[in-house]
């Protein structure tokens, strides 16, 4: 983990993030987040500048569409629960999702 302070607020870069989830495994080679303090105060909610995921890999243990009857399919609303807290925007670079 590495951090710095920019004119707009703190910037954080994390490497080699991994998690075992109930319905899959998550791996992120590098994540860059920059909190925009001034915009966050203006809108009264967290505002990040271009959150960027490098080599984001999500390996799901179940199918998305439910074609495979061996496992319970993922419901449409559950995908966001597996991965992100629904930011306004983000960048994915060299990333993939396996099912």
CA 73/CA 62 separation, integer angstroms = 6
CA 12/CA 48 separation, integer angstroms = 11
Residue 16: exposure state from Cβ atoms within 10 A (0-12, 13-18, ≥19): exposed
Reading the block at residue 42, the tokens are 């203006």
Rounded to the nearest integer, the mean pLDDT of the chain is 78
- 12 by DSSP, 3-state: which? strand
Average pLDDT over residues 28-36: 91
Structure confidence by residue, pLDDT tens digits, 55-74: 989 888 776 555 455 556 55
What phi, psi does 81 have (nearest 5°)?
-70, -30
| Residue 74 near residue 23, CB atoms below 8 Å | yes
pLDDT of residue 23: 78
CA 86/CA 75 separation, integer angstroms = 16
């Amino acid at each position: 983990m590495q951090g710095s302070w920019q004119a707009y607020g703190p910037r954080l870069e994390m490497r080699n993030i991994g998690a075992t989830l109930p319905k899959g495994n998550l791996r992120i080679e590098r994540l860059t987040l920059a909190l925009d303090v001034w915009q966050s105060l203006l809108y009264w909610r967290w505002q990040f500048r271009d959150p960027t995921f490098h080599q984001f890999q999500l390996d799901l243990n179940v199918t998305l569409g439910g074609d495979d009857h061996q496992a319970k399919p993922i419901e449409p609303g559950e995908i966001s629960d597996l991965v992100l807290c629904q930011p306004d925007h983000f960048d994915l670079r060299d990333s993939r999702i396996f099912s």
